[in-house]
Amino acid sequence: MSPGAIRIVVPGSTSNLGPGFDCIGMAVDRRLVVEWQGEGGGGVVVRGERPPPGFGDGLAGDLQALGLPLDGTLVVDSEVPVGRGLGSSAALAVALHLLRARLAGSSDPAAGALEAVTEIDGHPDNAAPALVGGLVATSRIGGRVSVIPLPVSDRIGWAWATPAAPADTRAMRRVLPDRVAHAAAVRNAARLSHLIPALAAGDGAILKWAMEDELHVPMRLPLVPGAEAAREAARAAGAWACTLSGAGSGLIAAAPRDRTADVVKAMEAAFASSNDDSEGVRAFELRPDLDGARWDTAVGPRPVRLA
C-alpha cells in the first residue's frame, strides 16, 4: 500500500556558467513542488509554470504514462520557467523519480536517482545540483556520474533575465560545431581552472575573465533576441560577468550583492527594448539553493522547508 501523502521539493538549476560547459551546475532558489495524494483519482493538476514538453498538455491526467498509480492525484506546482536555462526538465525528472521510489516503499529514494535522471535528461550538470544542491562539478566516469561539491561565495549576487521566447533546444544543439580550435579549447580550460576558485572566493576581478566562453556561448547567444544588449546592460549596471544560463534563453549575471537589483533592472529593460513582446520579458534575483531535493510524508524522513 503506497503512502497516502508525499511532498517533494526540487530546486531549479543553472549550468555551464560560461566555460563550465556540460560539467558545472548550481541549484537556485526557484523550486518545483510535487504533491502526491494517494486517493481521489484526480489525475494530474498543474499550477504555476507549465511543465516541460512531454508532461502536461497531452499527458495531463495520464498517471500511467508517468509511472504512477491510477488511484491518486498528482499536483505539480513550479516556479521554474521552461526553456529558459533553469533546469526545468531536470527538476521534474528528479521529482518524479523520487516520488516513484517513495511510492515503491524506498527509504532512500535518492539512491540511483542521479544516474537514472541523467539518462533521461542527457546531462548531469542540471540533475546533480537539483538533487544535491549547491554548486557542483559533474562528469560521467565509467557509466557512473561523479559529483564534486564546490564552494560558492555569498559575496556574489546572481541576476537572471530572459526574453519572452523560450530557447529552441534543438536549434541550440545544432548550432554547436563538431570541432573547435585547439587554442580555444586551451583558453576555455584555463578559464575554468580560474572560475572554480573565483566562485569560492567571490573574486569579481577574476570572474570578469573566467566566465567568458568560446565553446558554446558565441554560437548560441545570437539566437536569443536582445541577449547581447542585455549582457552589455548587465555589465554597465555593475555585473562582473554575464553569460547564458544553460543553453538559454535566459542570461545569468554575477555581480556584487549590493548591485544585483540594479543589474536585474538593467537586463530586464534591455530585453524589453529589444523584443516585440516586452510584456513577456522576465527578470529576478537568484540565490544558490544549498539543500537540493527534499521529500516528506506523514512520517517523512526529513521536513520540507519552502522559502
pLDDT in tens, 39-79: 777 788 888 887 776 564 444 457 877 888 888 888 899 99
Residue 249, preceding peptide bond in cis (omega within 30° of 0): yes
- Residue 92 and residue 252: Cα distance in Å, rounded? 21
**Three-state SS annotation for 175-200:** CCCCCCCHHHHHHHHHHHHHHHHHHH
Query: Is the alpha carbon torsion for 3, 69, 50, 252 positive or negative?
Result: positive
Q: What is the pLDDT of residue 176?
A: 95
Q: What is the pLDDT of residue 53?
A: 65
- Residue 46 and residue 75: Cα distance in Å, rounded? 6
- 89 and 168 fall within a common domain: no
Helix axes 88-103, 113-121, angle to 10 degrees: 140
Instruction: Find where cell 563550465 sits.
Output: 20
pTM for the predicted model, two decimal places: 0.90
CATH number of the domain encompassing residue 24? 3.30.230.10
Q: Is the pLDDT of residue 32 over 80?
A: yes
Q: Pick left, alpha or beta for residue 262 (phi over 0 → left; psi -120 to 50 → alpha; otherwise beta).
A: alpha
pLDDT in tens, 123-151: 799 999 999 999 999 998 887 899 999 99
Q: Is residue 303 part of a domain?
A: no
- 169 and 126 fall within a common domain: no
pLDDT in tens, 192-244: 999 999 999 999 999 999 999 999 999 999 999 999 999 999 999 999 999 99
- 139 and 170 fall within a common domain: no
CATH number of the domain encompassing residue 198? 3.30.70.890
**CB–CB of 125/32 below 8 Å?**
no
**CB–CB of 251/14 below 8 Å?**
no
Structure-model confidence comparison of residues 73 and 157, the more confident one:
157
> What range does the domain containing 244 cover?
156-286
User: Mean pLDDT for the chain?
Assistant: 89
- Residue 219 and residue 174: Cα distance in Å, rounded? 10
Q: What is the pLDDT of residue 302?
A: 38
Share of the chain above pLDDT 70, in %: 92
Q: Is the pLDDT of residue 93 over 50?
A: yes
- 136 and 160 fall within a common domain: no
- 89 and 195 fall within a common domain: no
